[in-house]
């Protein structure tokens, strides 16, 4: 009970921290900068004069070519614009951890006060993050974690819990019996390992038998479609499909549409194509993880910590979990309106 109370208080404290930038802008003379100057709207010049140097925060992503991360990029850039800082969205397009870490080290060496890391290989980040934090850089992770590193917080989904809910939802649609196939678009990624774990648990709780976990290529939709068709061919008695990545979910819906299939599909993420397929009745549901907030909130938090010297947020396991967003045909129109911003 005491831990729950502390958790709730810490979450509220973070909400208050997000208002500190606005409060600081209304401060009186600080370091020779007057209230009138701040009121003119040149917040960026004001905070640089107050802080004494340009404020630089970066977000480095392990796969910038994945359409899933477009809302995350927009969220980070929105936060940077609101704060009036130099915000750099960067990373690698091909999940090359060695190159991403080299880039991360360059960010540290060139004076970035805080860095948000979206990692692929969790353990590979332990040493570079330790070196960065020893140098005084605030480091947090988002979307995917490196839990054994010195990162300060993780901003993302409770991946096991979300996948358990996904599996139970799918099992109900399948009549709580039969075989189900899972997909994995990033084998070896901690986030997907956790999602597979939860999906198996949820499916079993709902009475489904997991026949296999099939690897996919999210960068190639033609390959995705072929993989889904191969899954169905190899398992003619399949009762349901549970894609565990955004592109996999869209591919499963497209195949069901093309082939006139009836197997229920409950997938993951809020790709616009997935939402359209839900609207049109070719996917039954999806579980979103709020990718926009996975970019926006870490930047806001890092700014409070690195620039305004706000206290570290203490949360169980160092995890700031986003709420799951369950999308079905009943509520999909709301999400179609919201997610339209991130198209192209």
pLDDT on residue 13:
52
Question: What average pLDDT does this structure show over 323-339?
Answer: 97
pLDDT on residue 15:
55
What percentage of the chain has pLDDT greater than the value 70? 88
pLDDT on residue 38:
45
Take residue 115 and report the two structure tokens written for it: 């860095």
Produce one character per residue of 41-53: b if its CB has 16 or more CB atoms within 10 Å, e if not.
eebeebbbbbeee
The answer, yes or no, to whether residue 34 has pLDDT greater than 90, is no
The answer, yes or no, to whether residue 330 has pLDDT greater than 50, is yes
Tens-place pLDDT, residues 243-263: 999 999 999 999 999 999 999
pLDDT on residue 18:
56
CA 104 to chain centre: 19
CA 262 to chain centre: 31
The answer, yes or no, to whether residue 42 has pLDDT greater than 60, is yes
- Domain 159-288+328-342: top CATH class: alpha beta
Take residue 108 and report the two structure tokens written for it: 């540290």
- Give the integer Cα–Cα distance in Å for 286 and 38: 45
pLDDT on residue 147:
96
The torsion angles phi and psi of 223, rounded to 5 degrees, stand at: -65, -40
Tens-place pLDDT, residues 50-90: 778 889 999 999 999 888 899 999 999 999 999 989 999 99
2-143+291-313 belongs to which homologous superfamily? Response regulator (3.40.50.2300)
Numbered ranges of CATH 3.40.50.2300 in the chain: 2-143+291-313, 159-288+328-342
Cα first-last separation, the chain: 46
pLDDT on residue 343:
83
Contact present, 200 and 183 (Cβ < 8 Å)? no
**Distances, alpha carbon 309 to alpha carbons 169, 215, 296, 313, in Å:** 43, 44, 19, 12
Tens-place pLDDT, residues 179-227: 999 999 988 888 899 999 999 999 999 999 999 999 999 889 999 999 9
**Mean pLDDT of the residues in the chain:** 89
pTM of the model: 0.84
Tens-place pLDDT, residues 310-327: 999 999 999 999 999 999
């Amino acid at each position: 009970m005491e831990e729950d109370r502390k958790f709730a208080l810490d979450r509220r404290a973070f909400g208050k921290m997000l208002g500190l930038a606005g409060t600081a802008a209304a401060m009186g003379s600080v370091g020779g900068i007057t209230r009138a100057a701040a009121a003119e709207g040149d917040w960026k010049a004001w905070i640089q004069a107050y802080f004494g140097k340009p404020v630089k925060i970066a977000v480095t992503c392990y796969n910038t070519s994945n359409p899933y991360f477009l809302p995350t990029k927009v969220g980070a850039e929105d936060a940077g614009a609101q704060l009036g800082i130099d915000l750099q969205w960067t990373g690698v397009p091909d999940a090359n951890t060695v190159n991403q870490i080299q880039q991360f080290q360059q960010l540290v060496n060139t004076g970035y006060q805080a860095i948000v890391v979206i990692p692929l290989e969790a353990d590979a980040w332990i040493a570079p993050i330790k070196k960065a934090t020893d140098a005084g850089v605030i480091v947090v992770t988002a979307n995917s974690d490196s839990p054994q590193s010195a990162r300060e917080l993780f901003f993302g989904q409770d991946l096991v819990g979300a996948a358990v809910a996904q599996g139970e939802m799918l099992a109900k649609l399948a009549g709580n019996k039969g075989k189900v196939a899972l997909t994995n678009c990033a084998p070896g990624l901690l986030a997907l390992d956790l999602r597979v774990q939860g999906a198996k648990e949820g499916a079993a709780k709902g009475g489904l038998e997991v026949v296999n976990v099939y690897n996919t290529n999210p960068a190639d939709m033609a390959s995705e479609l072929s993989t889904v068709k191969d899954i169905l061919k190899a398992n003619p008695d399949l009762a349901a499909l549970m894609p565990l990545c955004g592109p996999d979910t869209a591919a499963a819906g497209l195949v069901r549409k093309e082939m006139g299939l009836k197997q229920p599909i409950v997938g993951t993420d809020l790709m616009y194509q997935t939402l359209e397929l839900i609207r049109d009745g070719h996917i039954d549901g999806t579980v979103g993880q709020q990718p926009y907030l996975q970019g926006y909130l870490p930047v806001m938090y890092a700014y409070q910590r690195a620039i305004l010297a706000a206290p570290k947020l203490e949360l169980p396991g160092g995890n700031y979990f986003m709420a799951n967003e369950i999308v079905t045909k009943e509520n999909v129109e709301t999400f179609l309106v919201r997610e339209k911003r991130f198209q192209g």
